[in-house]
Amino acid sequence: MKFSDLGEFGFINRITRRCPIQPPFILKGIGDDAAVISFSDDLVILLTADQLIEGFHFRIDETEGKRLGAKALAVNLSDIAAMGGYPIGYTLSLGIPSQRIALDFLDAFYEGITSFGEMMGVALIGGDTSESGERFFISLALLGKASKGKVIYRGGGKDGDLLYVTGWLGDAALGLRISEQGGNRAGKENLLARHFSPLPRVKEGQVLAERGIPNAMIDISDGLLADLNHIVEQSGVGAEVDLSGVPRSPEFQIWARDFAADPLSLALSGGEDYELLFSVSPEKSIQVAQLSQELDVPITCIGKLAREIKGIWLKDEQGRSKKAEPRGYDHFKTG
pLDDT at residue number 21: 61
pLDDT tens figures, 85-131 = 999 999 999 999 999 999 999 999 999 999 999 999 999 999 999 99
| Beta pairing, strands 214-219 & 276-280 | antiparallel
Residue 306 carries which DSSP code? E
How much of the chain exceeds pLDDT 70, in percent? Answer: 93
Beta-carbon count within 10 A of 88 CB:
16
- Computed over every residue of the chain, the mean pLDDT equals 93
The whole-model pTM stands at: 0.92
Q: Return the higher-pLDDT residue of 326 and 171.
A: 171
Which pLDDT score, from 0 to 100, does residue 4 have? 67
Q: Residue 6: what pLDDT?
A: 66
Q: Which is it for strands 86-96 and 123-131: parallel, antiparallel or unpaired?
A: parallel
Q: Where are the domains of the chain?
A: 3-150, 154-323
pLDDT at residue 3, as a whole number: 62
What is the tens place of the pLDDT at every residue in 244-303? Answer: 999 999 999 999 988 777 899 999 999 999 999 999 999 999 999 999 999 999 999 999
For 300-311, what is the mean pLDDT?
98
pLDDT recorded at residue 23: 87
Is 254 buried (19+), middle (13-18) or exposed (0-12) by CB count in 10 A? middle
Q: How many other CB atoms sit within 10 Å of the CB of residue 15?
A: 9
pLDDT of residue 127: 98
Going 91 to 274 to 177 to 241, the CA torsion angle's sign is positive
Instruction: Give the pLDDT confidence score for residue 187 in this predicted structure.
Output: 85
Each residue of 281-304: b (16+ CB within 10 Å) or e? Answer: eeebeebbeebbeeeebebbbbbb
Q: What's the mean pLDDT in 161-167?
A: 99
Surface-to-core class of residue 235, CB atoms within 10 Å of its CB (0-12 exposed, 13-18 middle, 19+ buried): buried
Pick the CATH number of 154-323 from 3.90.650.10, 2.30.110.10, 3.40.50.720, 2.60.450.10: 3.90.650.10
pLDDT tens for 12-65 read 667 667 776 678 899 998 889 999 999 999 999 999 999 999 999 999 988 999
Of 23, 74, 20, 19, the C-alpha closest to 50 is: 74
Indicate the Cα dihedral angle 78, 82, 83, 87, nearest 10°: 20
Three-state SS at 200:
coil
Q: Which CATH number fits domain 3-150: 3.30.1330.20, 3.30.450.20, 2.30.42.10, 3.30.1330.10?
A: 3.30.1330.10
